[in-house]
Structure 1
Amino acid sequence: MHRNPSDAEIREILQAAKNIAVVGLSDKPHRTSHRIARFLQSAGYRVLPVNPNLSGPVLGEEPYASLREIEEEIDIVDVFRRSEFVGPVAEDAVAAGAKVLWMQLGVINEAAARYAAERGLTVVMDRCIKVDHASLVG
Structure 2
Amino acid sequence: MGNLHDFLVSARTIAVLGAHPNPNKAAFYVPDYLGRKGYRLFPVNPVYAGQELWGQTVVRKLTDLGEPIDIVDVFRRSEALPDHLEEILAARPKLVWLQSGILNDSFAETLRQAGIQVVQNRCLMVVHRQLVG
Map of 1:103 onto structure 2? 98
Per-residue deviation, residues 25-52 of structure 1 (Å, max 9, x unmatched): 1011111110011101000000100000
1:65-108 Cα distance to aligned partner (Å, 9 max, x none): 00111111100000000000112323311111211111001000
Partner SS, residue 42 of structure 2: strand
Structure 2 CA distance, aligned partners of 1:87 and 1:9? 27
Q: Is 1:24 aligned to 2:18, yes or no?
A: yes
What is the one-letter code of the residue matched to 2:8? L
CA distance in 1, matches of 2:33, 2:97: 16
After the TM superposition, which parts of structure 1 deviate over 4 Å for at least 4 consecutive aligned residues? none
Report how many residues are paired. 132
- Tell me whether 82-91 or 33-42 shows the greater mean CA deviation: 82-91
Code of the residue aligned with 1:58 in structure 2: it is L
TM-score by length of 2: 0.94
In structure 1, the partner of 2:39 is 45
Tell me the residue number matched to 1:112: 107
How far does residue 122 in structure 1 lie from its aligned partner after superposition? 0.7
The runs of 5 or more residues in structure 1 that have no matched partner are none
Does the 8 Å contact 1:40/1:130 carry over to 2?
yes
Alpha-carbon distance between aligned partners in 2 of 1:90 and 1:125, rounded to the nearest angstrom: 15
Find the counterpart in structure 2 of residue 81 from structure 1. 76
Determine whether 1:69 maps to 2:64. yes
- The answer (yes or no) to whether the contact 1:74–1:98 under 8 Å persists in 2 is yes
Q: Which whole-Å CA distance do the structure 1 matches of 2:70 and 2:13 have between them?
A: 5
Q: Distance between the aligned counterparts of 1:89 and 1:129, measured in 2?
A: 19
Rounded Cα–Cα distance in structure 1 between residues aligned with 2:86 and 2:127: 25
Q: Report the identity percentage.
A: 36
2:8 corresponds to:
14
Pair 1:9–1:89, CA change in 2 (3 A): farther
Task: For structure 2, list consecutive stretches of 5 or more residues without a partner in the other structure.
Answer: none
